[in-house]
Copies of this chain bind each other. A is one copy, B any other.
């Protein structure tokens, strides 16, 4: 008999793989070990739950417990896999019931990532949060909600850390918040805190917000946040979080800003402790190295999601860009491969979108010239601003597009788009172009959509391609 398909981690990659294999091969046993209580939840939705636009924490679940059961996936919550023995083809599992060895036929490591908070002093004070777990989101929403308005439905779910939630629910709601980090978590949380009428301060070490989205996005999102009374401290390093028991503020080298609540959003790191002692190799990023089918270097051991590297569309090299679609796509492909149809996990272009209030940003590929040079390219960029619709049509908004290309070949390397009118979704055109190694000349000739309510004759993407192509031709 074939040993089961064992999956370590019950979020996007793990449950996508489990679901796909059970659909293709219902007789194969699939066991998912999840260290915590929550499975299959939408990380990216948590800021909107905290904001109050999403009613319930359980609305963020992609699969309900019933759906998981219907798929006949053997899901074990609160089961931590603490060791892998590729020679014996077993994993060691710890749970309340004790420790045991589980044999596997195929193994998927889908352990995800964790929020970075160290080396900041004071991160363990009450009132300090990272935004990478459902329990944190639940506690934060409870804290933000006046005790009189706290309904069980809003801090719901049989899986939530109820003690933590109730502790915060009982506190007086915060009046001020400091956010450490101006990446997309920081920006989204600024919007969320504004919705609760907090006095919001955002600290960012670089001199712009949203560094991976390029200068225009950083500048325009800063302007938008300021319009909503967020105080920005750019080019400012936070030294420590201060307070006695509960956080009281944020200290930099020359000032201290009071805050009843601190959100630390300075990045995440892959969870790879499990493979540390094994022969399973990590890549340069520190995430698990995988091939085009999501296989690690060890036979029948796969890795996917936020703990794994994938091949980058533009550089062709292994890279670590932890995002939701990547995890789902790779998990699904691995499930199909194990079911007997070898399926590519696909490449990643680092396509990402974010909004701050009504300002939308999208980015894909390589924008940063240093990174592009490191990958062997000779980068050149142009930035244009064009209307999102025919200029005479109501609702048109300025849309700023930056494109980066390689001087020698004219190949598109990356792009970003910023604006208030359907700007973010336009990034998909560039993501598709990157996937196909298109040149800027080819991009310029694309037959994109035009009608006054949606786009000017020359879509902002085409305007940018024309300008960059002109620059490339002038050499």
Binding site for B on A (CB under 8 A): 12, 42, 44-45, 48, 53-54, 59-60, 62, 313, 323-326, 328-329, 341, 344-355, 360, 362, 364, 390, 392-394, 422, 424-429, 431-433, 435-436, 438, 442, 444-455, 457-459, 461-462, 473
Contacts and interface: CB of A to CB of B under 8 A. Distances in A.
Contact of A344 (B347, B349, B428, B445): B445
Contacts of A44: 390, 450-452
B454 A360 contact: yes
Nearest to A327: B457
Given A48-B452, A353-B449, A432-B432, 14 more contacts: A42-B390, A45-B393, A313-B447, A325-B447, A348-B447, A351-B448, A355-B453, A355-B454, A364-B447, A424-B451, A424-B454, A425-B425, A431-B446, A436-B436
Given A353-B451, A360-B454, A392 B432 contact: no
Contacts of A45: 390, 392-393, 452
A325 B457 contact: yes
A461 B48 CA distance: 24
A448 B390 contact: no
A426 B425 contact: yes
Contacts of A62: 457
A422 B345 CA distance: 28
A428 B431 contact: no
A428 B427 contact: no
A60 to B, nearest CB: 6
A355 B53 contact: no
A473 to B, nearest CB: 8
A428 B442 contact: no
A325 B451 CA distance: 10
A60 B329 CA distance: 45
A328 B458 contact: yes
Interchain residue pairs A-B with the least CB separation, the first 6: A346-B445, A59-B392, A436-B436, A432-B432, A353-B449, A349-B447
Central interface residue in A352, A429, A458, by most chain B CB within 10 Å:
A429
Contacts of A461: 428
Given A45-B390, A393-B54, A457-B325, A449 B428 contact: yes
A355 B424 contact: no
A364 B447 CA distance: 9
Central interface residue in A323, A446, A447, by most chain B CB within 10 Å:
A447
Nearest to A326: B447
Contacts of A453: 48, 355, 360, 424
Nearest to A450: B325
A393 B48 contact: yes
A449 B347 contact: no
Nearest to A59: B392
Contact of A346 (B429, B447, B450, B452): B447
B424 A448 contact: no
Contacts of A323: 450
Contact of A426 (B428, B452, B455): B428
Given A390-B45, A425-B426, A426-B425, A362 B449 contact: yes
Contacts of A445: 329, 344-347, 435
Contact of A351 (B326, B329, B390, B449): B449
23 contacts: A12-B457, A42-B390, A42-B452, A44-B390, A44-B450, A48-B392, A53-B393, A59-B392, A325-B450, A329-B445, A346-B444, A346-B445, A346-B446, A347-B447, A348-B447, A351-B448, A352-B451, A360-B454, A424-B449, A424-B451, A428-B446, A429-B432, A432-B433
A325 B390 contact: no
Contact of A451 (B329, B344, B355): B355
A27 to B, nearest CB: 20
B450 A446 contact: no
A455 B425 contact: yes
Contacts of A422: 422, 425
A324 B462 CA distance: 14
A277 B140 CA distance: 78
